[in-house]
Chains A and B, each alone.
Chain A
Amino acid sequence: MSELTKKTDEDVIEKPLPPNWILQHPTYQHLMNLDVGDSAQVHAAFLVYLDLSEVRQWKEVSGVGCSELRLVLLEGREKEGEPTQTVLPLPVHRGLSHRSVRSVLARGSPMLLCVVASDSSLVYQRMCDGLLTPDPPVGIQDQGRRQHRKRRQQH
């Protein structure tokens, strides 16, 4: 009887993840098998993969190898039907050259740089080719004489 109970208990409780669950994750192994980036960059790419697919619910997220740059890139769609975007995941301690940025941009899809910190926090930075005019500041109005009057009152 007690053995039966034990068995059902085990069924209900989820098995705890092994400490090296990342290494066993199929996507991680796929990224490693691309045989391009070093392990730190692959690890960063995997974390970004999890963020995009699980947290942000992007569609069709997959890893691709870029032999020219010797890096793993990720591709995916933010929503169904939207064009594919390319994400460049990098650990924070690495440098980035303009030439690398241009090669990723040359692939043709909108580009995101994702920087992965040692505590696994992620920062995304969009990059595009050319001169992109910024959004204008909000709330611009001609103040007229108001500013002048304010200054006078101070003195």
Chain B
Amino acid sequence: MDSPEQKITKTVSRVDASKESMANSRQVIGINFCGPTPLMWRADDLKSVRELGIIGTLVGSLARQPRQNTRLGRPLELLPEEGRLLADMGRAAVIPDSTNEDPEVNPEQVEQYHAGLENSFQEQGALALEDRKATLMRVMTKKHNENSGSQEDSDGAVRDRLEALAHGFSFPRTAMAVQLCTARAGLSHCPEVRRFLAADWPIPRDERSETRFRVFRDLRRQGFYLTSAGKFGGDYLVYPGDPLRFHAYFIVVCISMDESMPLCDVLAIARLGSNVKKTVLLCSSGGSQEDDGEEVVYTSLQWSGMV
């Protein structure tokens, strides 16, 4: 993070998205929908999307550290506004939901899958047995070195033990490791096909979502990074740069121009903002047209200093 002096004088940095996107060769990002929520699974996609200023939230378990939530893994959950912005930029495509497919349509695939599982099981069993044998050898050799008994006796003992192991060893099914693929090679894998799928984006058309989206797009255009602000009772948190490097400057509350705000709520959120050193922004979209050039108006709530 910057030192305090640098932050005071620093003007808002504008991410030069155009240069970076050229370097990215404009790949299309695949998005899976779980109900109304856009999710991303592919690691490459997560990286490209971050470079576009879309942050999202990781919501998955890490396979090796499941029982904690300090570090989460894929999928990356996007805000509806983030997904819609990607779609508008022509960078995202919805991957069709394959779970709705009738399983009987592809009996071959199912058979292949089970055959693959069986092969994996046999391989793992063989490897486990080898592993056990090696351990046994190591232990017996150590014992032999310690006891320094006769060579022939110990060799015989080792052979017997190994044979017993080979006969009696069984690899239980429950100990088998199964690989879960987060990216399946298939129809949606090829970039050309993704571009083809880009047309289909579900857009909610109520005023609130529309206002939220316009505010999101406008702030993103100004170079800010936005994440959700549930912890602060607002709509977005606005950062002057990548959230990993900066504290948030603003808590955004999206409202319509004519919506009546209870005064207690205004005071409450302004007070919260002062306490956490963030400015609360009341944001409204200028009009109700479908116009792309609609102005967004911002009002900052500032500490009055009047005790």
Return chain A residues, CB-CB under 8 Å to B237: none
**Which of A7-15, A19-27, A33-41, A87-95 lies on the face that meets chain B?**
A87-95
Q: How far is the CA of A136 from the CA of B205 in the complex (A)?
A: 38
A16 within 8 A of B: no
A126 and B301 within 8 A (CB): yes
Chain B nearest CB from A129 CB (Å) reads 6
Q: Chain B, interface size: which category?
A: 35 or more
Q: Is the CB of A112 within 8 A of B304?
A: yes
B262 in the interface (beta carbon within 8 A): yes
CB-nearest residue of chain A to B255: A98
Is A125's CB under 8 angstroms from B301's CB?
yes
Question: Which of these, A123, A124, A127, contacts B300 with CB under 8 Å?
Answer: A127
Q: Are A131 and B263 in contact (CB under 8 A)?
A: no
Q: Is A102 an interface residue (CB 8 A)?
A: yes
Partner of B299, one of A94, A124, A128, A135: A128
Which B residues are CB-close (under 8 A) to A93? 263
Residues on B with beta carbons closer than 8 Å to the beta carbon of A112: 304, 306
B271 to chain A, nearest CB (A): 9
A115/B277 contact (C-beta < 8 A), A97-B257, A98-B257, A136-B8 known: no
How big is chain A's contact interface, by range?
Answer: 20 to 34
A134-153 toward B: CB 8 Å interface, digit per residue (1/0)? 11111010000000000000
Residues of A within 8 A of B303 (CB): 126
Asked whether A133 and B279 contact (CB < 8 A) given A128-B300, A128-B302, the answer is: yes
Name which residue of chain B comes closest to A122, CB basis. Answer: B306
Q: Which of A113, A123, A133 contacts B249 (CB 8 A)?
A: A133
Instruction: Please state if A125 and B270 are interface contacts (CB–CB under 8 Å).
Output: yes
| A51-91 interface with B by 8 A CB criterion | 56, 90
Shortest CB-to-CB span from B272 to chain A, Å, is 12
Residues of B within 8 A of A126 (CB): 301-305
Alpha-carbon separation in the docked complex, A94 to B282 (Å)? 18
Is A50 among interface residues, defined by CB-CB distance under 8 A? no
B47 — which chain A residues lie within 8 A by C-beta?
none
Contact A95-B279, Cβ < 8 Å, known A127-B300, A131-B250? no
> A124 touching B1 by the CB < 8 A rule?
no
Closest 10 CB pairs of A and B: A95-B260, A132-B300, A126-B302, A124-B304, A124-B306, A126-B304, A99-B257, A134-B279, A98-B284, A137-B277
Question: Could you give 15 example pairs across A and B, Cβ below 8 Å?
Answer: A92-B264, A96-B261, A98-B256, A98-B259, A98-B261, A99-B258, A115-B266, A125-B270, A125-B304, A126-B302, A126-B304, A133-B279, A134-B277, A138-B4, A140-B4
